[in-house]
Structure 1
Amino acid sequence: MGSKTDLLQGFYDRVWVDGAIDEAGRFFDTSAEASGLMPDLAVGAVEFHEFVAALLEFLEVHRVTFEKTVEQGEWLSVMACFEASVLANGQTITGSGMLMARIVDDRIVEAFNCIDFLGLFEQLGLVPPDALALGMTGHRFQ
């Protein structure tokens, strides 16, 4: 059995970087759900597959690195950064997020995510530049 950090890095490398979405199941317990990817929605295996596939329609992920990791008992917490290319124009983008996962018998049984989707969508051109600053001034996006 490797470390929990190695297991999670293997997941990101295989599923996100290599695009082997169908292999995600080997990293997760069949009852596992991921929270925090979409508001008020816990994502199971089917939804997770669709979530990854949808993002990989926009991006080619080159690298996922862990800036900080903490392992304690069954739990792993990571601050992760990624580098990717936008498929539409080849632009390199970066992003970050945090994950807390409970790992039992080399499988993720619970996952809680916090990802900077606003920053990601801004870099993808899906929301206006400086969307966070504009929103904090009360600007409404139409």
Structure 2
Amino acid sequence: MSKRHLVERWFTAIWENNNAAVLAELLHPSVRESNTLDGMPNPHDDFPVLVEAVHRLIGRFSVDILHHMEDGDWTSTFFVLRSDVHGSEQNVSADGIVMMRFIDNQIAELRSRFDAFTFFEQLGQLPEEAMPACLAGQRLTWA
């Protein structure tokens, strides 16, 4: 199975279809031994909670791969999450990048960055133009 196919499976099975059972198949045993992935201390328990939270916020969504590169055991994938699909509750579009290192066709390391600022602005959880306000030194306060 190609690394690109494994990355697509990560996004489709786990993220889009909310199927946490696939984690056991995709994560290398070294992840269970080190018990950390992308800063999560317990990925087998933490990723399903994160994925479920996103589904509760926006409903159905898709993840499209915009650019994918491979270098040895590593992949780098630029993606966009879109919720403009049938059954979505909120319309959002935010991009990110994920780097994965593979051993024996399983994910041994994962590092990701997601534009959560834009994501939460679009959900109305951050005010519009929050980034320029923060850069100007203003503080965001909630009533």
TM-score for the superposition, normalised by structure 1: 0.85
2:62 counterpart residue number: 63
Give CA-to-partner distance per residue, 1:48-86, whole Å, 9 cap, x none: 222212222112343211111111111000111111159
Cα distance in structure 2, aligned partners of 1:113 and 1:120: 15
Is the Cα contact below 8 Å between 1:28 and 1:107 reproduced in 2? yes
The DSSP-based 3-state class of the residue aligned with 1:109 is: strand
Within a 5 Å distance, the mapping from 1:94-105 to structure 2 comes to 94-105=93-104
Structure 2 residue 20 is matched with structure 1 residue 21? yes
Cα distance in structure 2, aligned partners of 1:31 and 1:54: 26
1:42 counterpart residue number: 40
Within a 5 Å distance, the mapping from 1:131-142 to structure 2 comes to 131-142=130-141
Within a 5 Å distance, the mapping from 1:74-89 to structure 2 comes to 74-84=73-83
For 2:71, give the aligned amino acid.
Answer: Q
Is the Cα contact below 8 Å between 1:122 and 1:128 reproduced in 2? yes
Is the Cα contact below 8 Å between 1:30 and 1:45 reproduced in 2? no
The DSSP-based 3-state class of the residue aligned with 2:69 is: strand
Unaligned runs of 5+ in 2: none
- Measured after TM superposition, the shift of residue 91 of structure 1 is 3.3
Cα distance in structure 2, aligned partners of 1:124 and 1:23: 28
Stretch moving more, 122-131 or 45-54: 45-54
Give CA-to-partner distance per residue, 1:88-136, whole Å, 9 cap, x none: x833211100011101111101000111011111111111111111111
For 1:48, give the aligned amino acid.
Answer: F
> What RMSD over aligned residues (CA atoms) do the two structures have, in Å?
1.9
For 1:98, give the aligned amino acid.
Answer: I
Task: Give runs of ≥4 in structure 1 deviating > 3 Å.
Answer: none
Identity over aligned pairs, percent: 23
CA distance 1:133–1:141, shift in 2 (3 Å) = same
